[in-house]
Amino acid sequence: MVRDSRWVDPAPLEVSRPRLPWWTMLPGWVKLVLSPVAAVVLLGWVGYQLGRVMYRYPLMLCLLAAGWWSYSGLGPWWFGTLLAGLLAVVWVWWWRHPSSCERFALRWARTETRRFFVYAYDWRTVMRLSDLAKDKRGREYRPKLGRVRAEGWRDLVRVQMVKGQAPEQWELHASGLAHSFNAQSCRVRVVKPRRLELDFIHSDPLSCSIPVPALAEDAAGVDLRRVVIGRTETGKPLRLRLLGTHVLTVGVSGAGKGSLLWAVACALAPAIKAGQVKVFGIDPKGGMELGQAPEVFEQVVYDNGSRAVTLLEWLAQEVKRRAESYRGRRRAWTPESGDPFLLLVVDELADVIAYQTDRNLRDRATRAVQAITSQGRAPGVCVLGLLQDPRKEIIAFRHLFSTRIAMRLDEPAQVDMVLGDGVRQRGAAAHEISEHTPGVAWVKEDGKREPVRARVFHVTDDHLGQLVAYLTGRVAIPPVSAEVVAFPDRVDERSGGAA
């Protein structure tokens, strides 16, 4: 027997009604009149797509056409012979002249294959799964894949963002994008409104140390706006500005801060010798660093006590004196002013302005450094401060250093403190610099959006010997090489001794 026989309304039919394109509703004669226009538009679209493919993959298309022609026209033997001949030519070219082979053949081939098999192949899936594509009213808005350039160690991929997107969204997804496209890391750079360039990094071009070049002879070649102290990851010289700026370098112990300061000294050597640049130094570590070549300095102090503070206060006075003497005559220091350019190097700045236990000395040192950094740019005085700990309690006036260099650091928060907010998200991961690559650093100048990754020259004791010889005119004494004596064999403790 049926117990509950009440009538229940059937569920409404839950299927979406098919939507026909608008033009199917047009009357037949209108379709007839418009059909030539539609055919022209269709042909134009097909031509545009074909042109795009030919523009993106010229090498691949030429090779495919030549392969098809030789295989079908000449037969498999000829095809195999021509292919082997082509490979042999490329190999010999690469062997005899690798740079031109790389530039004109390998880079093209690599770019087209990586574009096709890596980026174009997976683009749609990766955009959807990373939430960078949007679905609105049944229409998908997907970022467009633009130009790809494979340089071997990195792929540069241009992207056109969808409307309403911000580069910050891409920065948040950078790590996921790197994994999706099998890269070690991904950096996001803004090229122009709506256009981004993604750097997919595959290997580190700065993994080998870079020797310091021979000392220049001519002081006229020293440009204080572009002092070359290393090489960037793109192979260009790393140019550090000293005139009109102050430089703060932060890195853990062993990050290579010493190399950086000696690379600056080597680059300035002709100007130091000619008296156009005078370098002052404070090394609170008892001279372990600056004491290696004291001849570079006009005056150098090996502690953080009253002598260091007196030097700082003298420099602060000099800044004021110059500012007064230039008043009404010139806006900023130039070599024609008659004064030398002054560079103050403070190794472990924290020891001078934070760790000094005598409060009076600490306050005087802090006031003097603040005075030099806030007023010294125009009168030709520059501070190069080296530091291990960038916290606010250690240095509250980081913003007065307009060039900041982050060498290897321990934590991401330290990178933000040194380089400023948002720079780490753009790729400047100084906390990920390997301990096996001392001297690698991220350089950020105020006014330039993009940080630069570079490695400073490796300055060895030999180079320092040459630098001292160059400045003093004395013959360089090669460092004494020690003979390593093997440990004696372990003596049995029971028989009366231990090795």
Ligand X SMILES: Nc1ncnc2c1ncn2[C@@H]1O[C@H](COP(=O)(O)OP(=O)(O)OP(=O)(O)O)[C@@H](O)[C@H]1O
Residues flagged as binding site: 251-258
- Tell me: does residue 259 bind ligand X (CB under 6 A): yes
Residue (272 or 456) nearer to ligand X, CB: 456
- Tell me: does residue 373 bind ligand X (CB under 6 A): no
Report CA Rg, the chain.
33
Q: Which stretch binds ligand X (CB under 6 A): 57-65, 115-123, 192-200, 247-255?
A: 247-255
Minimal distance, residue 253 CB to ligand X, in Å:
4
Q: How many residues does the chain have?
A: 499
Residue 194: CB atoms within 10 Å: 15
φ, ψ for residue 277, nearest 5 deg? -125, 135
Q: Which stretch binds ligand X (CB under 6 A): 138-146, 257-265, 293-301, 427-435?
A: 257-265
Q: Draw the binding track, 272-291, toward ligand X (x: CB under 6 A; -: no contact).
A: -----------------x--
Residue (258 or 465) nearer to ligand X, CB: 258
Reference 260, options 478, 462, 477, 454; nearest CA is 454
- Tell me: does residue 385 bind ligand X (CB under 6 A): no
Nearest residue to ligand X, by Cβ distance, number only: 439
Residue 328: CB atoms within 10 Å: 6
Choice from 143, 256, 284, 380 touching ligand X (CB under 6 A): 256
Give the type of residue at 408: R
Minimal distance, residue 211 CB to ligand X, in Å:
9
Q: What Å distances lie between residue 155 and 14, 74, 128, 215, 349, CA to CA?
A: 47, 38, 21, 35, 39
DSSP, residue by residue, 280-348: EEE-TTTTTTGGG-GGG-SEEE-SSSHHHHHHHHHHHHHHHHHHHHHTTT-SS--GGGSSPEEEEEESS
- Tell me: does residue 441 bind ligand X (CB under 6 A): no
With residues binned 3-state (H G I as helix, E B as strand, rest as coil), the percentages for the chain, rounded to 5, are 45, 20, 40
- Strands (DSSP E) contained in 306-456 are 341-346, 381-387, 403-406, 440-445, 452-456
Q: Binding site for ATP: residue ranges?
A: 251-258
- State which H helix or E strand residue 127 sits in: helix 121-129
- Tell me: does residue 211 bind ligand X (CB under 6 A): no
- Tell me: does residue 85 bind ligand X (CB under 6 A): no
Residue (120 or 215) nearer to ligand X, CB: 215
DSSP, residue by residue, 28-41: HHHHHHHHHHHHHH
- Tell me: does residue 456 bind ligand X (CB under 6 A): yes
Give the type of residue at 446: D
Residue (154 or 463) nearer to ligand X, CB: 463
Q: Draw the binding track, 33-52, toward ligand X (x: CB under 6 A; -: no contact).
A: --------------------
The residues in 457-476 that bind ligand X, with binding defined as CB under 6 A, are: 458
Choice from 5, 24, 99, 253 touching ligand X (CB under 6 A): 253
Minimal distance, residue 268 CB to ligand X, in Å:
17
Residues binding ligand X: number (CB under 6 A)? 15
Choice from 258, 380, 390, 465 touching ligand X (CB under 6 A): 258
Residues within the interface to ligand X (CB under 6 A): 209, 251, 253-259, 289, 438-439, 455-456, 458
